[in-house]
Structure 1
């Protein structure tokens, strides 16, 4: 089978970049830098969601499915530099040329990766291939919105209509899966600066599993999987998670076992 890589990012403010752009010295602490940026953003546009190029990648969560089974993990370690995380993601693409799957990857995760790879000087030749060296990529590459090497499941299900987008958490729960547990993206910076990196990484891992499960349901809906094959994929996820000794997976499996969950 073609390897499938489901991915998700968690980001924090790029305090070093914000200092450089605003002329703030090292005497201004990280928390103050971020708060100044949030305040300026709220005054300018009414919310504190920073521009994508100013969002530093803290976590890259991945679920990987190939002939060897199903795996879920975050790339690298919590204290790895951003460049190492980005390089690890793109090297996975270089090695496997996987099918990429995301939820809002076209609108958030991939543009962030583009900007941050540019800033950090990370190469990604396979990812950026568009048919110049490999003709198979001319009409099926990772970059073009309507090609299938990257499937932004949110974008596709909404028929490329932003007004029709659905939240992953709600759709996962409506399909009988656990959805988000205990955290959302707005809480990542607070958790990260309080030293809860493991909690953020666990949250990101549960998000990629939610995305994978919804993608399996989508594959069944479109007839790519039979009912037996779909059930086997879901069972494989359960079995894999039951074998991981991590608190967030205990919580996730407990939620999955609750009444009304598939």
Structure 2
């Protein structure tokens, strides 16, 4: 079963890229650049959400579960640039070859990582392998939608039907887990402008914990673990978070979760 890596990105509009592509004044502040781009996007598409290649990564939250331990953290440090965060992510994959787990990773997180890694020139031999280096990757790799080396839980549970997709927050709460705490993706950019990278990273960490808890429930459904093993995994998560409950946001998270 191990190791497993749950991942989630938090992104903001790429002001530098937008300034370049829209040929805006180099001295124009990022906030104004993004406002102009969002307004143009809204007029064109009915939504101000930037296309995936113009999503700049500011946090990568991870749960890492190996045979003995459970860890949750955001990669790197709050001041790290985007390229450094991407290198850190692929370094984990190249070293451990974990099973990747996400919620909408196929629809958002991985395409964003692909585009942004391309922009920064960040390689990863293991991630992109489709059998060239390891023949087993021909039949189970990170890139194929129906392989299990990356499990996009939202996609799988919706039976690969976009119209059936469900939000993580609601499903987590329906399953008895805390879900999101006070922030959603639409608030990341305003929070970033206020210097709230620590809040963004904390929000990202709760998302990956929610995703891991949902993955454990999914593993119970498909009989990859029995009830005893499932209960033990849930307790491990709860106990691990209790041990760091003096750090935001885990005290609040645990207060919303009754075992």
TM-score range for the pair, normalised by the shorter chain length:
over 0.9
Residue in 2 that maps onto 1:18: 18
**Which residue is equivalent to 1:28?**
28
Q: Within 2, Cα distance between the matches of 1:26 and 1:251?
A: 42
Q: What CA deviation, in whole Å up to 9, does each residue of 1:25-61 have, x standing for no partner?
A: 2321010011011101100000111000000000000
2:57 is paired with a residue whose SS is strand
Matched, 1:142 2:154: no
Q: Measure the CA separation in 2 of the matches of 1:249 and 1:21.
A: 41
* 1:4 match: 4
What aligned pairs does 1:222-237 form with structure 2 within 5 A after superposition?
222-237=222-237
- Cα distance, 1:9 vs. partner? 0.2
Matches within 5 A, 1:98-137: 98-137=98-137
Q: In 1, Cα distance between the equivalents of 2:118 and 2:200?
A: 25
> Structure 2-normalised TM-score?
0.98
Deviations 1:76-129 (A, max 9, x none): 011101000000000000000000000000000000000000001101111000
Shifted more, 210-219 versus 17-26: the winner is 17-26
Cα distance in 2, alignment partners of residues 152 and 205 from structure 1: 17
Shift of 1:229: 0.4
1:75 is matched with: 75
- List, as ranges, runs of 4+ consecutive aligned residues in structure 1 with deviation greater than 3 Å: none
SS at match of 1:247: coil
Tell me which residue corresponds to 1:254: 255
> TM (normalized to structure 1)?
0.97
Q: CA RMSD in A?
A: 0.8
**Cα distance in 1 between the residues matched to 2:152 and 2:227:** 23
Segments of structure 2 that go 5 or more residues without pairing to the other structure are none
Structure 1 residue ranges without an equivalent (≥5):
none
Which residue of structure 1 aligns with residue 184 of structure 2? 184
SS class of match (1:127) = helix
Which secondary structure state, in structure 1, belongs to the residue aligned with residue 125 of structure 2? coil
